[in-house]
Amino acid sequence: MASVFKRPKSKYWHAGWRSGDGRFHLRSTKQRDRAKSLTIALEWERIDKKVGTGGMVESQVRQVINDILERVGEPTISVPITDGWLREWVADKETGKSGRTVERYRKTIEDFITHLGDRASKPITVITPRDIQSLIAKRQKLGLSTATVNIDAKILRAAFNRARRQGIIQTNPAEAVDLPEKHSIERGVFTSAEVKMLVDQAKDTEWQSVIMFGYYTGARLGDCTKMEWANVDLLNGSIKFSDSKNQKWITIPLHSDLQEHLSRLASIDKPQKYITPHMAGLGPGGRHGLSEGFKRIMHNVGIDPQTVKGGGIRKVSKRTFHALRHSFTSALANAGVSPELRMKLTGHKSAEIHRGYTHLEMDTLKEAIKKLPGLNGEQPGPRKSANAQ
């Protein structure tokens, strides 16, 4: 039978008992009251023997432990249900993350909840690495790319990591899974001549603006469509735009081609918030989305999208609108612009990016932008005066 005793110099009572297999256990009750300590010791012994014979499940053990805590006047243990916890985690991400990122989180979480079936309504403590590993295996069989599957695992790891940090679970089940090896596909780039073909073929003024934004600022498609007139400084030759992925603002000098294009639009367009008001309201996906619209322009020009087999069963194009971002950085690199300046211009994460630009930095960046070749085939260098003979 369980008993309690005090060790020399210890302020707490210790419990001692033998489990069903005859082993002796000794543990501090963290109680100074002998009666409370004995209550805990007796319950520990009872739980130990029942669990050892398969007579109790986790929910019953947790209930008994809460009963013990109530008897000795301690707060009970509350373990959240898996589906509720995961959905609450996604909801908390709605502030501070872009809508597209939150939607990606939500899809992964809902897919996992569906995959769990009845286990999703169980406490989060019952989730094991096997639950997550089986989801990964299932998604691989569906032919999803390695990158997609790994992002799913990363999202689940983040969600369960919060539960671990809060002491709800002891270990993160997503950290123990084996992830498929990445098969990265090198992105393609466009030459300045191809970009000119895309701009000329677009015909639509908004698409022309968006393509030029992609090539001359390195901004992502969604950010290109939401450029605002209020953030364009034609006098000093700069534009400021929101990097939605990293939740920050980037200021970049205007290339002379882009500055001329915007000056022309400013003289004929009606004043509106967005430079491309129609496209600002469109999403990237779907048959009539922005990505497909760009593909149609490429097709009409006859530019090869360089489609290859991806990590899954799907085929992917090496040259999409995002390739304009790669073209931007590659052209700067080929023109001899330093990696540090390229990182500033593209907004890639680093300690330097978070610092505001000084006047000297902006002048240096302007010189870097001038090194981009123009769409008319001109090589980098000073523009000829309109009055030059």
Per the structure, the count of domains in the chain is 3
Domain at 198, CATH number: 1.10.443.10
The larger pLDDT score, comparing residue 215 to residue 98, is at: 215
pLDDT of residue 358: 32
Cβ-count burial of 353 within 10 angstroms (0-12 exposed, 13-18 middle, 19+ buried)? middle
Give a yes or no: residue 95 inside a domain.
yes
Is residue 379, in this structure, part of any structural domain at all? no
> Do residues 285 and 314 both lie within one domain?
yes
Q: What is the pLDDT of residues 379-389, one digit of tens each?
A: 665 544 444 44
Q: Are residues 323 and 242 in the same domain?
A: yes
Domain annotation covers residue 382: no
- Range of 12's domain? 3-71
Identify the domain boundary among 41, 71, 101.
71
Position 277, amino acid = P
Mean pLDDT of 355-375: 65
**Per-residue model confidence (pLDDT) at position 386:** 42
CATH of the domain at 165: 1.10.150.130
Does the residue 181 lie in any domain? no
Predicted confidence (pLDDT) at residue 8 exceeds the cutoff of 70? yes
Distance CA 25, CA 43 (A): 13
What average pLDDT does range 301-330 have in this prediction?
A: 78
Residue 290 sits in the same domain as residue 206: yes
pLDDT attached to residue 69: 61
Q: Is residue 36 part of a domain?
A: yes
Would you say residue 381 lies in a domain? Answer: no
Percent of the residues in the chain that have a pLDDT greater than 90, as a whole number: 31
Per-residue confidence at 276, pLDDT binned at 50, 70, 90? very high
Query: Do 96 and 59 belong together in one domain?
Result: no
> Does one domain contain both 215 and 362?
yes
Structure tokens that stand for 178 in this block: 């084996």
Same domain, yes or no, for 274 and 295? yes
- Average the pLDDT over 200-216 and give the result: 92
Confidence of residue 345 (pLDDT cuts 50, 70, 90): confident
Residues β-bridged to residue 241: 250
Give the model confidence (pLDDT) of 155-170 as tens digits.
Answer: 999 999 998 898 888 8
Maximum C-alpha span of the chain? 108
Residues 207, 324 within the same domain? yes
Other Cβ atoms within 10 Å of 133 Cβ, number: 17
- The SS3 of residue 234 is coil
CA distance 204 to 29: 76
Q: Predicted confidence band at 67 (pLDDT cuts at 50, 70, 90)?
A: low
Residue 45 has a CB neighbour count (10 Å cut-off) of 20
pLDDT at 356: 32
Most confident by average pLDDT, 92-96, 229-233, 269-273: 229-233
Answer yes or no: pTM beyond 0.85: no
Cα–Cα distance for residue pair 263/273, rounded to 1 Å: 16
Same domain, 198 and 232: yes
Tell me whether residue 145 is in a domain.
yes
Lowest-pLDDT range of 151-160, 240-249, 361-370: 361-370
**The pLDDT of residue 360 is above 90:** no
pLDDT of residue 310: 59
Residue 176: per-residue pLDDT: 86
Is a pLDDT exceeding 50 seen at residue 34?
Answer: yes
In a domain, 289, yes or no: yes
Q: For 74-92, write each residue's pLDDT tens digit.
A: 665 567 889 999 999 999 8
Beta bridge pairs of residue 5: 14
pLDDT at 355: 36
**Are both 341 and 219 inside the same structural domain?**
yes
Pick 207 or 248 by higher pLDDT.
Answer: 207
- How does pLDDT run across 117-142, given as a tens digit for each residue? 999 998 898 899 999 999 999 988 88
Residue 225 has pLDDT above 90, yes or no: yes
Arithmetic mean of pLDDT over the chain? 81
What values do phi and psi take at 367, rounded to 5?
A: -65, -35
Give the mean model confidence (pLDDT) for residues 110-120. Answer: 94
Assess whether 114 and 197 both reside in one domain: no
Report residue 65's pLDDT band, with 50, 70 and 90 as the boundaries.
low
- The pLDDT of residue 212 is 96
Same domain, 327 and 265: yes
- The pLDDT score that the predictor gives to residue 388 is 45
Picking from 293, 57, 307, 59, the residue whose alpha carbon sits closest to that of residue 198 is 293
Q: How confident is the model at residue 264 (pLDDT cuts 50, 70, 90)?
A: very high
pLDDT (average), residues 10-24 = 84
Q: Are 22 and 106 members of one domain?
A: no
For position 258, what pLDDT does the model report? 95
